[in-house]
Amino acid sequence: MAQSSPVAAPVRSRRRGEALEQAILEAAHQILREDGYSKLTMEGVAAAAGTGKAALYRRWADKDTLVTAVLQSVLPSPQQLRLTGDVREDLLLIMCCIRNAIGLTNGAAFDIVRHEGPGSGGLVHKAVGQRVLDPCRREILAVLTRGIAEGSVRPGTATPLIADVGPGMIIQHVVVVGTDVPEPFVVSVVDEVLLPLIRA
Amino acid sequence: MAQSSPVAAPVRSRRRGEALEQAILEAAHQILREDGYSKLTMEGVAAAAGTGKAALYRRWADKDTLVTAVLQSVLPSPQQLRLTGDVREDLLLIMCCIRNAIGLTNGAAFDIVRHEGPGSGGLVHKAVGQRVLDPCRREILAVLTRGIAEGSVRPGTATPLIADVGPGMIIQHVVVVGTDVPEPFVVSVVDEVLLPLIRA
DNA sequence: GTTCTAGTGAACGGCTGCGTCTACTATATC
DNA sequence: GATATAGTAGACGCAGCCGTTCACTAGAAC
């Protein structure tokens, strides 16, 4: 792990404040991606960032607080999506947003949710659920609702259950196959599952 | 944890052989259900079973070997399902098989797969993937194929992708909401997602 | 009863990681 | 330059767990 550290060389001039914080977050993010949540330790992050644990504990109370900060800094937000108004295109955009969120963290977001226990309302649950999963569901529902109004989507399909089908397929792929979700998989989920399910 | 041990009282007469092995597996299963995979330790299992670690290590090389044995003893097998020939009924049976597999182990099966890394081909991956997920997918494909032949299922739907929709919904529920998957949820997945998707 | 085997209970050494603390000091600010 | 703050590097005590070993002994088999 020391070999993969972005700042393994002795640091002659000290980073302070925001610069150090960024280096720590980046180091933590890298460990999260490469080794996953369960193998991330405060000591490992400190070593990878070329600093001491005390500098971490000055900012974050514990591992999960640090990981939450990492997730909040890297998770894409579906509010930033530029939806087109085309049902297929928009579903693809949203699904790729979910896929990218997973890829950025090697599925750690889901590990954390399960580690905390669902419904625990922990900080990380909020970061992941409220930042990615819930907004994506709302976006999908909006896409379906608009499609129903335009007549291209079957009435009655704008339900949370149906909105969960796409994300469910991605989560299953993550759990069973791995966090590298190929884009063709996303496309086929939209074309062979979602569109047949919702079309008028 | 000692308070929840089924055999917390001092054991006056020693169990030997199969009886001890059963007690250990049951203790491990209980810890798996209550605390999850990451919190299961060999010491904890030994304490809960009222025995010593040496007795565990005489039988199982390490934690994962023990957990594999637990899973193999509790996971239901879809081969045991009595399918009816009715598409809806059979999909419900298979889906409940998956749901029950998850409930029996508090979702630990999935934690283990992710801990090992998908595609690692580890023993636990084999126990879960080959015993539950792959057979269920095959059963679903068989149901779809038979439905197509009878004309009640749309041609072209007997694909692995569509066969994964139902399991995907359950896995998502596990990850996001929790391992207590209500039976009405399973029923609505079949009725509101699967049947609309596949009907002729 | 004798012998053998596996179970019991405890201890051990080793490792990892946590969270905290300290002496020193780089660096920003005045 | 003087002061204050945060960063550095290391050490510490603690807890937990692993895997192994040992002396003793319950209990099966003969």
| CATH code at position A165 | 1.10.357.10
Sign of the CA dihedral A90, A93, A96, A97?
A: negative
- Determine the distance between B10 (CA) and D12 (C1') in angstroms: 38
pLDDT band at B116 (very low <50, low <70, confident <90, very high): low
Pairwise CB contact (< 8 Å): B169 & A164? yes
Q: Residue B80 has what DSSP assignment? A: G
Question: Measured at the alpha carbon of residue B107, what is the angle toward residues B101 and B108, in degrees to the nearest 5?
Answer: 105
Q: Give A100-127 pLDDT, tens digit per residue.
A: 888 777 777 777 777 766 555 666 667 7
* Residue B10: CB less than 7 A from any atom in strand D: no
Count of CB contacts below 8 A, A vs B? 84
Tell which wins on pLDDT, A52 or B129. Answer: A52
Hey, what amino acid is at B62? Answer: D
pLDDT band at B1 (very low <50, low <70, confident <90, very high): very low
Q: Which two tokens stand for residue A148?
A: 């129903």
- Chain A's closest residue to B158, CA to CA, is A192
- Specify whether the backbone of B107 is left (phi greater than 0), alpha (psi in -120 to 50) or beta: left
Residue B153 has pLDDT above 70, yes or no: yes
Range of the domain at A133: 75-198
Tell which wins on pLDDT, B11 or A95. Answer: A95
**Does B101 lie in the same domain as B46?**
no
pLDDT band at B34 (very low <50, low <70, confident <90, very high): confident
Among residues of chain B, what percentage have pLDDT more than 90? Answer: 56
pLDDT band at B8 (very low <50, low <70, confident <90, very high): very low
Q: Which two tokens stand for residue A11?
A: 């640091």
| A108-116 helix and A63-74 helix, angle to the nearest 10 degrees | 140
Pairwise CB contact (< 8 Å): A172 & B162? no
Tell which wins on pLDDT, B54 or B78. Answer: B54
Q: With contact defined as beta carbons under 8 Å apart, do A101 and A109 qualify? A: yes
Flag whether B24 is in a domain: yes
**Does B88 lie in the same domain as B23?**
no
* C chain positions with any atom within 7 Å of a protein CB: 6-11, 16-22, 26-28
**Does B86 lie in the same domain as B60?**
no
Q: How far is B19 from chain A (nearest CA, A)?
A: 33
Residue with tokens 């796409």: A166
**Does A111 lie in the same domain as A62?**
no
- Chain A's closest residue to B162, CA to CA, is A193
Low-confidence ranges of chain A (pLDDT < 70): 1-12, 116-125
Question: Nearest residue to D26 (CA, C1')?
Answer: B14
Q: Which two tokens stand for residue A193?
A: 């599952």
**Does B53 lie in the same domain as B81?**
no
* Residue A59: C-alpha distances to residues A21, A47, A52, A62, A94 (Å): 8, 16, 12, 9, 33
The pLDDT assigned to B51 comes to 94
Flag whether B100 is in a domain: yes
